Chain A
Amino acid sequence: MADVTAAAPPPVEIVVDGVSKAFGTVQALVDVHVRVRAGEFLSVIGPSGCGKTTLLKTIAGLIAADAGRVVVGDRIVEGPGRECSVVFQDFALLPWATVQKNAEFGLLLRGVPAAERAERARGVIAKVGLAGFEQAYPAQLSGGMQQRVGLARALAVNPQVLLMDEPFASIDEQTRRVFQDDLLRLWSEERKTVVLVTHSMEEAIYLSHRVVVLSPRPGRVHQVFEVPLPRPREGAGVRATAEFARLVDDLWKILRKLQ
């Protein structure tokens, strides 16, 4: 099988520079500044409704900010761009398409020829651990497997930036842990810049270099939390360490004050 990531472009930096966004009278984000380093794994956490999704979609170019700007690499974001792929909380799989066709979808929209599309999709499907399920329909898969298809689709276009909105929220705990390890492994192989929105403190700390804590609506950056755990973390029993427990507790202390 051809290694579809051989020519992966180097990761890029993301700069969120004074972004504000209101929906009608609801102020979702106010003057948000975040700088995501090239190749960094960054999590965003905060109370429900504080604007995490809005921030992610603004980076993805799906929502236009009212003020401020987002720069991905050297492109000022004005709409969806080729550097970014989004992984959606509800998976957003086409129910009428097979796993293979779903994984190809981004390539299809970007005009990649059929043969290359099929090959690259097969590669990423195998990479996320779904080899053999190419011809299955989403309805025939478990939630965890469906999200793997969502991840495969995002990876297939070989993005420099991976934007994930609570990708594990509707997946059971055991599956989630396996998936998190797989995600870390993929990240260390491909070194993409990752922004992950999550509700889970353990998840944020286990996966990220830094955690951005947003304040309740209107969302602002309340604090940026460093996670000095060594890598690789997958399979190394990091979750059982005192250091991990202490970090989760520290993060909890910050979040509790925000409620």
Chain B
Amino acid sequence: MPDVRESDLGRTGLIAVGGLLIVWEALGRLDVSMFVPPVTTVAAAWWQLLGNGTLTRAAASSLGSLVKGFVPAAVLGVAVGLAMGRFATVRHLLDGWVNALMSAPLSALVPVLIALFGIRDTVVAATVFMFSFFVIVVNTLTGVRGTEPSLVEMARSFGAGEVALFGRVYWPSALPAVMLGLRLGVVQAVKGMVVGEMLISLVGLGERLIYYGNTFLIAELYAVIASVLLIALTASQLAQALDRALVRWK
């Protein structure tokens, strides 16, 4: 995983994004290409799609799949990561799979999921799960393994048993890494959501992308892309806020 540090979307961010939008608008007005519609046209299309309920319906379906896939991925991912971190047997049983699947092009498995579940939105939730699970496992595992041995020894010197050691040392020590995993995981989850929906092309924002692409409705297409980006950014901001709330001592 490349080092994607928290961006400082401060003034530079505003200027950069604002500048892009202005240039884009100008190019759109000059009609350089049908693929660069003016920002205002896209905004109007977005507003219209929002007004007639298209966008809200699609987003509701998408977010439903996102939650159905991500929540189990988070819970199971953290649990598996903790188990792998604490028990060498579990670690050796699973680390080959986790490492391989962590970087595997899991999008290839979507047709398999379709074969399993049929063309249903369950496939989308399953894709979300697949995309986010492994990064959560790996980060949790790294967090547990990174616990300072001297803290463990210190707790043992006061007579800490396995449970106390886990709850009072390993877990709090792994928490920042767990939160990082959830942050990266939720971004992956949104990617899974879009890929799954585009491939089953049945419901949600992904289906809208395919539809507007097929019908050459460029402004609408951009409006949906923007919505997807918005969901991704919001999800990652939420995860970051949770991180800050839980890991204040850093």
| Residue in chain B with minimal CB distance to A63 | B153
Report whether B158 and A105 are in contact in the complex, using a CB–CB cutoff of 8 Å. Answer: yes
A137 to B154 CA separation, bound complex (whole angstroms): 18
Report whether A92 and B148 are in contact in the complex, using a CB–CB cutoff of 8 Å. Answer: yes
Report whether A88 and B150 are in contact in the complex, using a CB–CB cutoff of 8 Å. Answer: yes
Chain B min CB distance to A77 (Å) = 12
B-side interface mostly: helix
Within 8 Å of chain B (Cβ to Cβ): is A62? yes
A108 and B168 in contact, given A80-B158, A86-B157, A96-B249 (Cβ under 8 angstroms): yes
Report whether B150 and A80 are in contact in the complex, using a CB–CB cutoff of 8 Å. Answer: no
Looking at B150, B169, B173, which has the most chain A CB atoms within 10 Å of its CB?
B150
Within 8 Å of chain A (Cβ to Cβ): is B104? no
A157 and B158 in contact, given A95-B249, A137-B249 (Cβ under 8 angstroms): yes
Within 8 Å of chain B (Cβ to Cβ): is A255? no
A85 to B156 CA separation, bound complex (whole angstroms): 11
Looking at A80, A109, A157, which has the most chain B CB atoms within 10 Å of its CB?
A109
A109 and B249 in contact, given A88-B150, A92-B148 (Cβ under 8 angstroms): no
Chain A interfacial residues counted at CB < 8 A? 26
Report whether B159 and A110 are in contact in the complex, using a CB–CB cutoff of 8 Å. Answer: yes
A181 to B160 CA separation, bound complex (whole angstroms): 32
Report whether B249 and A80 are in contact in the complex, using a CB–CB cutoff of 8 Å. Answer: no
Chain A residues within an 8 Å CB radius of B156:
62, 80
Give B132-157 as 1s and 0s: 1 = Cβ < 8 Å from A's Cβ atoms.
00000000000000001011011111
Report whether B157 and A62 are in contact in the complex, using a CB–CB cutoff of 8 Å. Answer: yes
Chain A min CB distance to B24 (Å) = 45
Chain B residues within an 8 Å CB radius of A35:
none
Give A45-81 as 1s and 0s: 1 = Cβ < 8 Å from B's Cβ atoms.
0000000000001001110000000000000000111
Chain B residues within an 8 Å CB radius of A81:
159
Chain B residues within an 8 Å CB radius of A106:
158
A86 to B175 CA separation, bound complex (whole angstroms): 26
Chain B residues within an 8 Å CB radius of A57:
153
* Residue from A85, A94, A110, A139 in contact with B172 in the complex, judged by beta carbons closer than 8 Å: A94
A157 to B154 CA separation, bound complex (whole angstroms): 13
Chain A residues within an 8 Å CB radius of B217:
none
Chain B residues within an 8 Å CB radius of A97:
249
A92 and B150 in contact, given A108-B168, A109-B164, A109-B168 (Cβ under 8 angstroms): yes
Chain B interfacial residues counted at CB < 8 A? 19
Within 8 Å of chain B (Cβ to Cβ): is A213? no
Report whether B172 and A80 are in contact in the complex, using a CB–CB cutoff of 8 Å. Answer: no
Chain B residues within an 8 Å CB radius of A94:
151, 169, 172
| Residue in chain B with minimal CB distance to A150 | B154
Report whether A82 and B150 are in contact in the complex, using a CB–CB cutoff of 8 Å. Answer: no
Report whether A109 and B150 are in contact in the complex, using a CB–CB cutoff of 8 Å. Answer: no
Chain B min CB distance to A166 (Å) = 12
| Residue in chain B with minimal CB distance to A98 | B249
Chain B min CB distance to A134 (Å) = 15
Chain A residues within an 8 Å CB radius of B148:
92
A97 to B247 CA separation, bound complex (whole angstroms): 11
Chain B residues within an 8 Å CB radius of A105:
155, 158, 168
Within 8 Å of chain B (Cβ to Cβ): is A90? yes
Chain B min CB distance to A97 (Å) = 8
* Residue from A80, A108, A137, A139 in contact with B157 in the complex, judged by beta carbons closer than 8 Å: A80
A108 to B169 CA separation, bound complex (whole angstroms): 13
A157 to B175 CA separation, bound complex (whole angstroms): 28
| Residue in chain B with minimal CB distance to A163 | B157
A204 to B212 CA separation, bound complex (whole angstroms): 80
Chain B residues within an 8 Å CB radius of A60:
157
Chain A residues within an 8 Å CB radius of B164:
109
Chain B residues within an 8 Å CB radius of A61:
157
A109 and B155 in contact, given A92-B148, A94-B172, A96-B249 (Cβ under 8 angstroms): yes
Additional A-B contact list (4), CB under 8 Å, known A88-B150, A92-B151, A105-B155: A96-B175, A105-B158, A109-B158, A110-B159
Binding site for A on B (CB under 8 A): 148, 150-151, 153-160, 164, 168-169, 172-173, 175, 247, 249
Q: Could you list some 19 contacts between A and B, CB below 8 A?
A: A57-B153, A60-B157, A61-B157, A62-B157, A79-B159, A80-B157, A88-B154, A90-B150, A92-B148, A92-B150, A92-B154, A96-B175, A97-B249, A105-B158, A108-B168, A109-B159, A137-B249, A139-B249, A157-B158
